Amino acid sequence: MSSLTSSAPVRGLKIGIIGFGPFAQFLTQTMIKQGHSIRATSRSDYSEHCARLGIPFIRDMDEFLQSDNEVVLLCTSILSLSDVVKSMPFQCLKQPTLFADVLSVKEYPRDVLLQALPPESDLICTHPMFGPESGRDGWHGLTLMYEKVRIRNEAVCSGFLHIFASEGCKMLEMTCEEHDKLAAKSQFLTHTIGRVLAEMQIEPTPIDTKGFEKLFEVKESVANDSFDLFNGLYVHNRFARQQLKNFEVAFDGVKHKLLDRMNE
Ligand code: NAP
């Protein structure tokens, strides 16, 4: 059995989270349950929330980076990543650290982080293909995509991946480029259609078909995600632009077929 899938206990990691929004809070619950030592920092003040979870909230970024993290997990919005990274005083790091991100686009954080990180820092780019809704009842069978971009400390890296593997996630190693190509065709398209349906304010009717119920689910599934997230999926995935064009062309094509038949 590989160290990723093994159920043997792995020692707790010291993990510092940057950006303590909804997704970070969702991940934190499981990491605390697994016995990792978590501390968080964020633009907004989450000190009360962290106190309830029994973890420290460190407002000051210098102090946060000095706090002996083995892993720094970036959970900021896609749009704010570059500013957040620019504001990080890397000279405060006390040891070579594994940086990991969970952004829903992958080439962009890889490039930003490779440019900014000290050369001795390791980097793994990941995308959990689930969120607080789909992962509410556990992560079993849900996919974690990852690329080991620059790893020297294999022990810390596999300890980090074990967080997901031990919950039963499907572990999928692929390049950031491959992820972005596929995500534009799947996740970005889902969000686009969900947003269009939300604009149309679709609501259940007493005579819903199974198909319509699924459409409504698509609308609901993106409703809780921030517009920043959707915007980031478009702005920082170079393959999303083509998908939006394909969507427009396909919509026009379907409309014209209908109108042509009507005029015949
Ligand atoms: P989000 O709206 O994408 O990000 C919210 C986080 O970004 C908060 O921590 C927020 O900090 C921070 N932030 C936003 N603008 C900022 C700024 N100008 N400066 C500094 N920080 C800023 O919501 P999310 O759902 O929590 O997602 C977080 C990350 O996880 C995103 O990159 C997303 O792509 C990824 N992800 C999300 C899901 C999901 O299901 N939601 C699934 C997989 C991956 P404050 O709260 O302190 O203001």
Summarize pLDDT for 61-79 with one digit per residue, the tens: 999 999 999 999 999 999 9
Q: Mutate which of 17, 18, 20, 23 to test ligand 1's pocket (most atoms within 8 Å of Cβ)?
A: 23
Q: How confident is the model at residue 262 (pLDDT cuts 50, 70, 90)?
A: confident
Q: How confident is the model at residue 52 (pLDDT cuts 50, 70, 90)?
A: very high
3-state helix, strand, coil in the chain (%, to 5): 50, 15, 40
Closest CA to 133 of 220, 191, 53: 220
pLDDT tens track for 221-257: 888 888 999 999 999 999 999 999 999 999 999 999 9
What is the whole-number distance in angstroms between the Cα of residue 19 and the centre of ligand 1?
Answer: 6
Percent of the chain with pLDDT over 90: 91
pLDDT confidence of residue 225: 86
Q: Are 173 and 148 in contact (CB under 8 A)?
A: yes
Q: End-to-end distance of the chain based on CA atoms, in angstroms?
A: 64
Q: How confident is the model at residue 11 (pLDDT cuts 50, 70, 90)?
A: confident
Q: Is the pLDDT of residue 48 over 80?
A: yes
Ligand 1 pocket member 128 (CB < 6 A): yes
Helix, coil or strand: residue 61: helix
Ligand 1 pocket member 18 (CB < 6 A): no
What is the whole-number distance in angstroms between the Cα of residue 65 and the centre of ligand 1?
Answer: 19
Ligand 1 pocket member 228 (CB < 6 A): yes
Closest CA to 61 of 37, 42, 47: 42
Ligand 1 pocket member 134 (CB < 6 A): no
Mean pLDDT of the chain: 95
Q: How confident is the model at residue 1 (pLDDT cuts 50, 70, 90)?
A: very low
Helix, coil or strand: residue 68: coil
pLDDT tens track for 139-172: 999 999 999 999 999 999 999 999 999 999 999 9
Instruction: Please compute the mean of the pLDDT values over residues 106-127 and round it to a whole number.
Output: 98
Nearest CA to ligand 1 atom 20: 43
Is the model's pTM score more than 0.75? yes
Bridge partner residues of 146 (DSSP): 126, 173
Nearest CA to ligand 1 atom 37: 23
Least confident stretch, 113-122, 161-170, 215-224: 215-224
Q: Are 109 and 139 in contact (CB under 8 A)?
A: no
Q: Is the pLDDT of residue 8 over 70?
A: no
Ligand 1 pocket member 102 (CB < 6 A): yes
pLDDT confidence of residue 10: 65
What is the whole-number distance in angstroms between the Cα of residue 259 and the centre of ligand 1?
Answer: 43
Ligand 1 atom nearest to 105, measured from its CA: 34
What is the whole-number distance in angstroms between the Cα of residue 23 and the centre of ligand 1?
Answer: 7
Bridge partner residues of 71 (DSSP): 15, 98
pLDDT confidence of residue 173: 98
Element (H or E) spanning 182, and its range?
helix 176-183
